Amino acid sequence: MSLPRLPRPPLLPLEGRAAVVTGAGRGLGRAEALELARLGAAVVVNDYGQPGRDGSGDASAGPAEEVAAEIRAAGGRALAHTGDVADHEQARELVELTVAEFGQLDILVNNAGILRDRMVFSMSEDEWDSVIRVHLKGHFNTTHFASAHWRARSKAADALVYGRIVNTSSEAFLAGSAGQPNYAAAKGGIVGLTTSTALALSKYGVTANVICPRARTRMTADVFAGFQEPGEGAEKGVGGRRAPLAPIDPLAPEHVAPLVGYLASPAAAHVNGQLLVVHGGMVAVVERPRVAAKFDTKQDAFTYDELDALLTPHYADRPRGETFAAAEVLGLKHE
């Protein structure tokens, strides 16, 4: 469905900004690209275009071109990039294309990913490597070139620049999804990459945050197959206004996109290095890990017997299934 052409209000939070959204040909990335355009940004829609959610099939320009055309038809500015962001040089080309076309890069939303699920004892080396490559290396590649662009601009101007990174992790990392060791590891790595990046780039005026979205997309179609869809959801128009709302699927990507738009905006200037869970009309701010207990040796160094005397009682009354994973996040919902 194409977006309606609507008048643009005079003030949009992302007016004059240029954004890159990876994996934006479908699902979450598409919704995020449309939202950034609705808020006034020029958008480079990146998608490698492979049909299989496991990264299989021939690459296609179709998905990226269609979303870019949808934005332009609604009065926005957009172009397509069909490169593989997991390839270092193609990620460089993506950033260079954005700067060449729109003068600079202001917003980077990393969303591209694949799934190749398997239990850890059955997973092949290729299933591990391919998921780590697309998710974790893909996030690094674009972040590397975007951060170099912002650093150079800041140094040339001897001033802070405008830069926003929104990375995509997953509740699979938080909850410890048993059948997704590659995906959970990649998504956990993305959180570490984000917090490191947030600290490294803050002195240039750049923020980096990470979201854990839950949505019905091509990648999760089987996961949420039992959840009824009440309708097609709300299509959003470029220019700050929405088309009339139909009943919206609680798992629609449109529930996630507004948070990405906010984190990309000037209003979120003081939000940095944060992890947020978002889905179904709910946003949860996840607190960083806290030290639950601390033990000190009464000798020069711990011995096995001393650790046994301290740690064994500490864990004796804990539930057997309780781990560092925060499975309770899966129970979060809109109230």
> Which residues form the catalytic set?
170, 183, 187
Q: Which residues partner with 279 through β-bridges?
A: 282
User: Closest Cα to residue 258, out of 227, 236, 225?
Assistant: 236
CA 309 remoteness from chain centre: 43
Q: Which helix (H) or strand (E) holds 166?
A: strand 163-168
Beta-strand relationship, 42-46 and 282-286:
unpaired
Which residues 6+ apart lie within 8 Å of 152 measured at CB? Answer: none
Q: How far is CA 189 from CA 99, 173, 291, in A?
A: 28, 9, 21
- What are the backbone angles phi and psi of residue 186, rounded to the nearest 5°? -65, -45
Structure tokens at 309: 């005397």
Give the span between the Cα atoms of 51 and 53, in whole angstroms.
7
User: Closest Cα to residue 43, out of 7, 9, 68, 75?
Assistant: 68
